[in-house]
Amino acid sequence: MIDIVQPVLSEKDIPLHLRGTPLEELLQYHNLGRELVPVPAPRMLIGMCMDNRKHLRIPDNFSFILRAGGANLRPAEFKVSYAIAVGGIRAIAIIGHNNCGMVNLMARSHLFIEGLVNAGWDEQTAEEHFFHFAPMFEIGNEIDFTRGEAKRLRMRYPGVIVAPMLYKVEDNRLYLLREET
């Protein structure tokens, strides 16, 4: 079986369907050390997790970036539509990452609730808040969610190329996620 996580260590690792697109440029800038040259307008949209351990190596003005827990863009879909409709974007990278806090979120309910109580919330309100919203933000696992989110966006915006990627926090590199054909 072919590995789902595909490293991009050289130009030849970039699939043909991404060549000549801003997604190829993203991989060149971040993984392959392409020279950073500012661009006049955004070339793509990047949806990625809000995790502070991730930083992309891209030029100024290269992309719109939406950060949301787990790279879950469902709650930000109007912003995605804006980037496409008004910004003219025709390429999206959905970048999940390993060791994501939105995986197995329910197991951290106590930590979440306690943190809100320590910030001044009463316990009942904190519990209600967590149990109301956690199901919307739990992502299962990083790879499957990222691939599913890319598929969902591709169906929603058929004229836009969407690529699922994984950011590995231990080496700060982007990896392509293979999808079923």
Question: What CATH number is given to the structural domain containing 87?
Answer: 3.40.1050.10
Question: Looking at residues 13-19, what average pLDDT do you find?
Answer: 96
Q: What is the pLDDT of residue 101?
A: 86
Share in percent of the chain as helix, strand, coil (round to 5): 40, 20, 40
pTM of the complete model: 0.93
Bridge partner list, 63: 44
If asked whether residues 48 and 131 sit together in one domain, one would say no
If asked whether residues 31 and 119 sit together in one domain, one would say no
Q: Please give the biggest Cα pair distance in the chain.
A: 55
pLDDT band of residue 166 (cuts 50, 70, 90) is: very high
Range of the domain at 122: 104-138
If asked whether residues 42 and 113 sit together in one domain, one would say no
If asked whether residues 113 and 94 sit together in one domain, one would say no
E strands present in the chain: 5-7, 44-48, 63-67, 91-97, 161-168, 173-177
If asked whether residues 95 and 163 sit together in one domain, one would say yes
If asked whether residues 10 and 61 sit together in one domain, one would say yes
pLDDT band of residue 181 (cuts 50, 70, 90) is: low
Asked if pLDDT for residue 159 goes beyond 70, the answer is: yes
Asked if pLDDT for residue 1 goes beyond 50, the answer is: no
Amino acid at 23: L
CA dist list (Å): 128 to 3, 112, 122, 125, 135:
40, 11, 10, 5, 12
If asked whether residues 83 and 109 sit together in one domain, one would say no
Rounded to a whole number of angstroms, the distance between the first and last alpha carbons of the chain is: 14
Q: What percent of the chain has pLDDT over 70?
A: 98
If asked whether residues 114 and 76 sit together in one domain, one would say no
Please write down the HEC assignment for all residues of 113-129. Answer: HHHHHHCCCCHHHHHHH
If asked whether residues 87 and 156 sit together in one domain, one would say yes
Asked if pLDDT for residue 2 goes beyond 60, the answer is: no
Question: Looking at residues 11-17, what average pLDDT do you find?
Answer: 96
Laid out side by side, the sheet with 63-67 consists of: 5-7, 173-177, 161-168, 91-97, 44-48, 63-67
- Give per-residue pLDDT as tens, 46-90: 999 998 888 999 999 999 999 998 999 999 999 999 999 999 999
If asked whether residues 44 and 113 sit together in one domain, one would say no
If asked whether residues 19 and 57 sit together in one domain, one would say yes
Q: What is the mean pLDDT of the chain?
A: 94
How many domains is the chain partitioned into structurally? 2
If asked whether residues 43 and 119 sit together in one domain, one would say no
